[in-house]
Amino acid sequence: GAVVSQHPSWVICKSGTSVKIECRSLDFQATTMFWYRQFPKQSLMLMATSNEGSKATYEQGVEKDKFLINHASLTLSTLTVTSAHPEDSSFYICSARGPNQPQHFGDGTRLSIL
Amino acid sequence: GNSVTQMEGPVTLSEEAFLTINCTYTATGYPSLFWYVQYPGEGLQLLLKATKADDKGSNKGFEATYRKETTSFHLEKGSVQVSDSAVYFCALNFQGGSEKLVFGKGTKLTVNP
């Protein structure tokens, strides 16, 4: 079946640093990738939608300069949390889909900012 | 706007008990409906789906029926196992549209032996 790999699975870093999270589709071409954020005991909140080769579309209230998304190839999208602060600590999940396919989710990245 | 409301948990059951997790939706038009499962520390896995009214999705003993008249998609399983312990999310989207998934808040299920 379709596999989406997300890396790293857990990262701890100091406040003010930038963190990059990778999302790869391993056995299919992901024309669209989605980035979600999940707060403890809460649902997933869509942050942005990215289509390969074009700029990401951000949801209302999500700072595009804070959360940089790049979808440079059909198998890789990255989310960079710039100048991270403790309030950015969360569980970030990506999903990917190919043409006429449902979304397949990665295992998530737990980000802890000290 | 589009939204999903599911019963709040946590839900705690004994093994072999009957499970129902309620889910209702509000949407403009006719969405596709999904149930996703999230095991501890993992991402989401699609459990089942239904794309039109009266469709029944089923997988691993779980099932849910798309009820347009009650705008519901309740998840059921006749006999739960300890391995079913997870968080369950009801969701909707519009195929062919933006395809964003709109999730409910999730229901944590714990099954005790």
The tens digit of pLDDT for each residue in B44-65 reads: 899 999 999 999 999 999 999 9
Partner A contacted by B43 (CB < 8 A): yes
pLDDT in tens, chain A (114 residues): 668 999 999 999 999 999 999 999 998 999 999 999 998 777 889 999 998 888 899 999 999 999 999 988 999 999 999 999 999 999 999 999 988 788 899 999 999 999
Q: Nearest chain A Cα to B10, which residue?
A: A41
- In terms of Cα–Cα distance, which of A19, A26, A73, A93 is closest to B89? A93
| CB contacts, 8 Å: B8 with chain A | none
Other beta carbons less than 10 A from residue A59's beta carbon: 14
Kindly tell me if the per-residue pLDDT of B15 is higher than 90.
Answer: yes
Confidence of residue B23 (pLDDT cuts 50, 70, 90): very high
CA dist list (Å): B108 to A26, A55, B61: 30, 36, 18
CA dist list (Å): B89 to A13, A112, B4, B45: 30, 24, 10, 10
- For strands A67-73 and A76-81, give the pairing: antiparallel
Measured over all CA atoms, what is the biggest interatomic distance in chain A, rounded to whole angstroms? 41
Chain-chain contact of B44 with A105 (C-beta, under 8 angstroms)? yes
Kindly tell me if the per-residue pLDDT of B96 is higher than 60.
Answer: no
Chain-chain contact of A46 with B101 (C-beta, under 8 angstroms)? yes
Close Cβ partners of A62 (under 8 Å, ≥ 6 residues apart): A47, A48
Average pLDDT estimate for B69-73: 96
- Rg from Cα positions in chain B: 14
